[in-house]
Amino acid sequence: MSATSGVKATAVAPRTTGSESRSSSPTPPSHDVGGWHRFWGRFDHKVVPYLLISPFFILFAVFGLFPLLYNGVVAFRNWSLLDPANDGWAGFANFARLLEDDKFWNALGNTFGIFILSTVPQLFLALVIAALLNRKLRATSVFRVGILLPYVTPVVASTLVFASIFAKDNGLANWVLGLVGVQSELGGGQVIEGVDWRSTKLTSWTAIAIMVNWKWVGYNALLYLSAMQSIPKDVYEAAALDGAGAWKQLWRITVPMIRPMVLFTVVLSTIGGLQLFAEPMLFEQNAQAGTGGTRGQWQTVAQLIYYTGWKQLNLGYAAAMSWGLFLIIVVIAAFNAFLTNRLGGGKR
Amino acid sequence: MKWSRSRSASFLAAGAASALLLTACSTGGGTEPGEGDDGDGGSESVDLSIHFWGDMGFTQLAEQYEEENPGVTITLVEGEFNAQHEALQQQLIAGSGAADIVAIDEGFIVQFRNQPDKFVNLLDLGAADYEERYLPWKWQQSLSADGATQIGLGTDVGGQAMCYRHDLFAAAGLPTDRDEVSALWDDEGWDGFIAAGETYVANSGKKFVDNATQIFSPALAQQEHSFFNENEELTPEPGPKAAFEITEQVIDAGLSANIAAWSDEWNAGFANDAFAVLACPAWMTGHIRNQAPDKAGLWDIAAIPGGGGNWGGSFLTIPEQSENQEEAWKLLSWLVQPEQQIAVFETVGNLPSQPALYEDPKIQERVDEFFNNAPTGQIFSKTALELEPQYLGKRNGPVRVAVENVLNDIQAGNLSTGAEAWERAVSEAELAAQG
- Distance from the A199 Cα atom to the nearest Cα atom in chain B, whole angstroms: 6
- Distance from the B423 Cα atom to the nearest Cα atom in chain A, whole angstroms: 14
Is the Cβ pair A311, B13 closer than 8 Å?
A: no
Check pLDDT > 70 for residue B37.
Answer: no
Helix (H) or strand (E) holding A26: none
Check pLDDT > 60 for residue B24.
Answer: no
CA B232, chain centre distance (Å): 21
Distances (CA, A) of A335 to A11, A99, A305: 53, 22, 24
Domains B44-157+313-359 and B160-309+370-434 agree in fold? yes
**What was the pLDDT predicted at B43?**
52
- Distance from the A282 Cα atom to the nearest Cα atom in chain B, whole angstroms: 11
Give the C-alpha separation, B332 to B350, whole Å: 17
At position B432, the amino acid (one-letter code) is A
Measured between beta carbons, the chain B residues lying within 8 angstroms of A288 are 80-83, 86
Of the candidates B260, B291, B298, the one whose C-alpha atom is nearest the C-alpha of residue B276 is B298
Helix (H) or strand (E) holding B404: helix B396-411
| Nearest residue on chain A to B109, alpha-carbon basis | A82
Q: How many CB atoms within 10 Å of residue A308?
A: 26
| B44-157+313-359 topology per CATH | D-Maltodextrin-Binding Protein; domain 2 (3.40.190)
At position B3, the amino acid (one-letter code) is W
Find residue B46's DSSP bridge partners: B72
Lowest mean per-residue pLDDT among B41-45, B110-114, B134-138, B194-198: B41-45
Is the Cβ pair B265, A188 closer than 8 Å?
A: no
DSSP letter for B418, please: S
At B158 the three-state DSSP class reads: coil
At position B409, the amino acid (one-letter code) is D
Considering only CA atoms, give the Rg of chain A. 29
**What was the pLDDT predicted at A304?**
94
Domain range A93-167+199-343, its CATH number among 3.40.30.10, 1.10.3720.10, 1.10.10.10, 3.90.1150.10? 1.10.3720.10
Q: What is the pLDDT of residues A239-278, one digit of tens each?
A: 888 888 888 888 888 888 888 888 889 888 888 888 899 8
Give the C-alpha separation, A332 to B143, whole Å: 50
| Cα-Cα-Cα-Cα dihedral sign, residues B398, B403, B408, B413 | positive
Name A164's Cβ contacts closer than 8 Å, sequence gap at least 6.
A171, A172, B264
Give the C-alpha separation, B156 to A217, whole Å: 50
**What was the pLDDT predicted at A33?**
62
* Identity of the residue in B12, B251, B401 whose CB atom sits nearest the CB atom of A291: B401
Check pLDDT > 70 for residue B281.
Answer: yes
In the A/B pair of chains, how many CB contacts fall below 8 A?
135
**What was the pLDDT predicted at A143?**
86
Helix (H) or strand (E) holding B79: strand B72-79
At A212 the three-state DSSP class reads: helix
Question: Which residue stretches of chain A have pLDDT < 50?
Answer: 1-27, 348
Q: Where are the alpha helices (DSSP H) in chain A?
A: 2-12, 19-24, 27-46, 48-60, 66-75, 93-99, 102-133, 140-146, 149-152, 155-165, 172-180, 201-228, 233-241, 246-249, 255-257, 259-274, 278-283, 301-306, 315-343
**What was the pLDDT predicted at B57?**
85
The residues spanned by each domain of chain B are: 44-157+313-359, 160-309+370-434
Give the C-alpha separation, B189 to A75, whole Å: 50
- Distance from the A17 Cα atom to the nearest Cα atom in chain B, whole angstroms: 24
Considering only CA atoms, give the Rg of chain B. 25
**What was the pLDDT predicted at A15?**
45
SS3 content of chain B, % helix, strand, coil (to 5): 55, 15, 30
**What was the pLDDT predicted at A190?**
78
Largest CA distance in chain A: 105
| Nearest residue on chain B to A61, alpha-carbon basis | B18
Of the candidates B364, B381, B164, the one whose C-alpha atom is nearest the C-alpha of residue B280 is B164
Is the Cβ pair A188, B252 closer than 8 Å?
A: yes
**What was the pLDDT predicted at B396?**
86
> For the residues B337-362, what does the mean pLDDT come to?
86
In chain A the first and final C-alpha atoms are separated, in Å, by 45
The share of chain B scoring above pLDDT 90, in percent, equals 20
Q: Higher pLDDT residue, B53 or B2?
A: B53
Check pLDDT > 80 for residue B409.
Answer: yes
Measured between beta carbons, the chain A residues lying within 8 angstroms of B432 are 312
User: Which of B258, B275, B417, B431 should we substitute to test contact with A (largest number of A Cβ atoms within 10 Å)?
Assistant: B258
Measured between beta carbons, the chain B residues lying within 8 angstroms of A186 are 258, 411-413
Helix (H) or strand (E) holding A251: none
Is the Cβ pair A103, B395 closer than 8 Å?
A: no
User: May I ask the CATH architecture of the domain B160-309+370-434?
Assistant: 3-Layer(aba) Sandwich (3.40)
At position A163, the amino acid (one-letter code) is A
DSSP letter for B294, please: G
Strands A183-185 and A191-193: antiparallel
**What was the pLDDT predicted at B216?**
93
Strands A77-78 and A88-89: antiparallel
> For the residues B13-42, what does the mean pLDDT come to?
42
* Identity of the residue in A81, A285, A311 whose CB atom sits nearest the CB atom of B260: A285
**What was the pLDDT predicted at B186?**
85
> For the residues B28-53, what does the mean pLDDT come to?
59
Q: 377-396 in B: which are within 8 Å (CB) of A? A: 394-395
The residues spanned by each domain of chain A are: 2-83, 93-167+199-343
Following DSSP, what letter does each residue of B237-275 receive, concatenated? TTHHHHHHHHHHHHHHTT-B----TTSHHHHHHHHTTS-
Find residue A338's DSSP bridge partners: none
Of the candidates B108, B41, B48, B120, the one whose C-alpha atom is nearest the C-alpha of residue B77 is B48
Is the Cβ pair B82, A288 closer than 8 Å?
A: yes
**What was the pLDDT predicted at A344?**
59
Give the C-alpha separation, B46 to B39, whole Å: 6
Contact (Cβ atoms closer than 8 angstroms) between residue B165 and residue B288: no
Contact (Cβ atoms closer than 8 angstroms) between residue B374 and residue B301: yes
Name B276's Cβ contacts closer than 8 Å, sequence gap at least 6.
B164, B165, B168, B169, B172, B200, B204, B206, B207, B208, B209
Q: How many CB atoms within 10 Å of residue B310?
A: 26
CA atoms within 13 A on the CB side of A97: 20
> Assign residue A293 a region: left if phi > 0, alpha if psi is -120 to 50, beta otherwise?
left
At A171 the three-state DSSP class reads: coil
B294 exposure class (CB count in 10 Å sphere: 0-12, 13-18, 19+): exposed
Helix (H) or strand (E) holding B63: helix B58-68
Q: What is the pLDDT of residues B124-145, one digit of tens each?
A: 888 888 888 888 888 988 988 8
